[in-house]
Amino acid sequence: MNENFLYSNPELYEKVYPDVNNQRIKMCLIKIQRYLGELPSCLADFGCGLGRESNAFSSLGVDVTAVDINRDMINFAKRNGSATFILEDVCTVKLNQKFEVILSLGNVLSCFTSNQKLNAFLDNVTSHLEDDGLLIINLWNGARFLGKDIKELAHEVTIDIEGSNTCGKSIFILDRKNQQIKRIRNWTVSNAEIAIDNFSYRLFFPEELRYILESKGFEVVSMEDNDELIEGDFSGLELTITSKLTKR
């Protein structure tokens, strides 16, 4: 079972994974301007987490509906903005509305380690997206790890909270057969162990994702492996993919 201590501690999550200079929000704005030409009137965020992007777009006057399965994340997001937040599974939620843009950022897709969950998620996305609507996803890049030693991912993060050092030490295990990376992270506060994470992420390759999205009726209009959104060699850690749902 996937376990992530940070999901239950969103304040700590925000410190461990800051969005430096609002880079992800700026990326979404560039994509939307490039492929829609203007801000959408309505947008959904599937797997909204802290609600950063949801609340940012809401502050710009967009009607935003954000969904996440984690209650702690939803409660945190509600306290920090004006988007509509819904506690539901993104694979099964029914919003009774179609959107011009759907975001699914920060490795949401990588959490679906089974084909059944992946298909359920994408089918639900298509049912909520207008014809010619945009889907913007962001996730780990499987191509990054071709021929590489994943020891490069091992890291330690220390956050000082009210005088106590909260420390997370991570190691990663590569499961090539199942195209997954398993992260094991040990959390301590003032050297006392408080939690151990075990979390598996599915690794997708660029052309694999293109095939999957096209099979669901999408046209992939751009794919990048860098924050500058320029053509690269696909050795970057993350992929950002923008797709347009073709008319049905």
Q: What is the pLDDT of residue 152?
A: 66
Please report, in angstroms and rounded to a whole number, the separation of the first and last CA atoms in the chain: 37
Q: Judge if 106 and 221 occupy the same domain.
A: yes
Answer whether 198's CB lies under 8 Å from 175's CB. no
Residue range 37-90, pLDDT digits in tens: 999 999 999 999 999 999 999 999 999 999 999 999 999 999 999 999 999 999
Look at the chain and report how many structural domains it folds into.
Answer: 2
DSSP codes of every residue in 42-62 = EEEEET-TT-HHHHHHHHTT-
Domain span at residue 155 reads: 144-201
Q: Judge if 123 and 190 occupy the same domain.
A: no
Q: Judge if 14 and 43 occupy the same domain.
A: yes
Pairing of strands 84-87, 238-245: unpaired
Q: Judge if 187 and 83 occupy the same domain.
A: no
Q: Judge if 123 and 189 occupy the same domain.
A: no
Q: Judge if 73 and 192 occupy the same domain.
A: no
CA distance linking residue 110 with residue 56, whole number of Å: 24
CA distance linking residue 114 with residue 127, whole number of Å: 20
Residue range 201-239, pLDDT digits in tens: 999 999 999 999 999 999 999 999 998 898 889 999 999
- CB count within 10 Å of CB 61 equals 9
CA distance linking residue 142 with residue 13, whole number of Å: 24
Tell which of 201, 218, 233 closes a domain. 201
**3-state class of 154 per DSSP?**
coil
Q: Judge if 28 and 125 occupy the same domain.
A: yes
Q: Judge if 70 and 178 occupy the same domain.
A: no
Facing residues of 168 across strands? 157, 187
From the number of C-beta atoms within 10 Å of its C-beta (0-12, 13-18, 19+), residue 170 rates as middle
